[in-house]
Structure 1
Amino acid sequence: MNRRTKTIAVAAAVLLTLGAGGVAVASGNDAPVPAAATVREAAALTGTAKLYRPAGDDITFSFDAHLAAKDNKDPEAATGTFRFSHYKGGKGGYAVAKVDCLTTGGKVAVVTGKVIETDVDAFRNKRVGVSVHDDGKHDRLGYSWVGRDTNLEVPPCLSAAPFEQVQKGTGDFKVLPWQIDYPTE
């Protein structure tokens, strides 16, 4: 088979594949029906990473936070959970928070949530905030319990800037940027 014939055959196969993906066969009457359009969620933060600590601390953050398309103008309607833990020398603890707000912009996300499960009394039933910068190679993270007053109740959608380095090879954060629909008039 010559090169031109191969090129035409490959192009035809690609077109057939793409065409088949765009329609679905209705049950019962073989009439093609357009495939349902996929609705993009308004914002999301997912992934897991360990923080860099030269002293050997095991600090891990995991996120599964989402803002549905229907809630695009209400970041406090976000859902999901996030988890963090800090262990060293057999001591430490963990917490799981239920998401109550998510905002994203470009590759940065801020998520807050009320702690619903923990073995650390200082976090029990507190709202905490975490920020993430997802730059693909050198992800960063920040959290609200830094500073003198770590008992401060954090308002929804607020946290510290992403000041911590993620341990090399562990950051797989994915930030889906929020796309706000602005009025045109």
Structure 2
Amino acid sequence: MQRRTKIAVLGAVLLLVTGATGSAAAYGTDGHPRQEAAALTGTAKLYRAAGDDITFTFDAHLAAKDHDNPLDATGTFRWSHYAANGEGGWAKARVDCLVTGGKVAVVSGVITDTDLDGVKGHRVGISVHDTAGTDRLGYSWAATENMGPKDLPKCISSAPFERVKQGTGDFRVVPWQPDF
């Protein structure tokens, strides 16, 4: 090869490698473009020996443009809890904060719709641990009566102490990486 051709080929290879490396930073570990700074999505049922039907569903997102402010998170989450005798209820909340780290997420929101008495307008928080085995979940009302205090601070919950029923957890946590 002539010197000029070698330089042109080497330059083209360098441009390709540089372009691939630079664009990799905009992609997540799954190879898809990173459109958001943090996320919690998925559905799971909690395990209860008594046979209660307890389901949690999340669709919470922090846009890439809002990556420095978890209070700009959007979306909803929903849960229901029905005892074996059919008694129970459900609630839906509008997300007002989302913080994730590794495979753990804490999301909070204000209850916007429910069939439970006296809890509409209350803020609640839920934590999730997205594991390779059995996912785990916790909630702010674990140590309080009903849904807890109406003035609960944003992004507050208990540790994820509940076990998700085998085969039902499909939580997906996108870890937050703020610019500090």
Taking structure 2 as the reference length, the TM-score comes to 0.78
Provide the residue aligned with 2:108 in structure 1: 112
Cα separation, 1, equivalents of 2:87 and 2:106: 28
Q: Specify the code of the residue in structure 1 equivalent to 2:38.
A: A
Provide the residue aligned with 1:159 in structure 2: 157
Q: Is the 1:136–1:172 Cα contact (8 Å) retained in structure 2?
A: no
Q: Specify the code of the residue in structure 2 equivalent to 1:50.
A: K
1:158 CA drift (Å): 0.9
1:79 CA drift (Å): 0.4
Provide the residue aligned with 2:72 in structure 1: 77
Identical amino acids, percent of aligned pairs: 64
Provide the residue aligned with 2:179 in structure 1: 181
Q: Can you list the C-alpha shifts for 1:10-59, whole angstroms capped at 9, x where unaligned?
A: xxxxxxxxx9xx9xxxxxxxxxxxxxx74431000000000000101000
Q: Can you list the C-alpha shifts for 1:53-85, whole angstroms capped at 9, x where unaligned?
A: 010100000000000001011101000000000
Provide the residue aligned with 2:42 in structure 1: 47
1:179 CA drift (Å): 1.1
* Larger Rg computed on CA atoms: 1
Q: Give the secondary-structure state (helix, strand or coil) at the position aligned to 2:79.
A: strand
Q: Give the secondary-structure state (helix, strand or coil) at the position aligned to 1:123.
A: coil
Unaligned runs of 5+ in 1: 1-18, 23-36
Provide the residue aligned with 2:167 in structure 1: 169
Q: Map of 1:12-161 to 2, 5 A cutoff?
A: 38-88=33-83, 89-150=85-146, 151-152=148-149, 153-161=151-159
Quote the RMSD (CA, aligned, Å): 1.6
Q: Give the secondary-structure state (helix, strand or coil) at the position aligned to 1:145.
A: helix
Taking structure 1 as the reference length, the TM-score comes to 0.76
Provide the residue aligned with 1:10 in structure 2: none
1:148 CA drift (Å): 3.8
Cα separation, 2, equivalents of 1:90 and 1:68: 39
Q: Which segment drifts farther, 43-52 or 145-154?
A: 145-154
Q: Specify the code of the residue in structure 1 equivalent to 2:80.
A: S
Unaligned runs of 5+ in 2: 1-15, 20-25, 27-32
Q: Specify the code of the residue in structure 2 equivalent to 1:174.
A: R
Q: Is the 1:41–1:68 Cα contact (8 Å) retained in structure 2?
A: yes
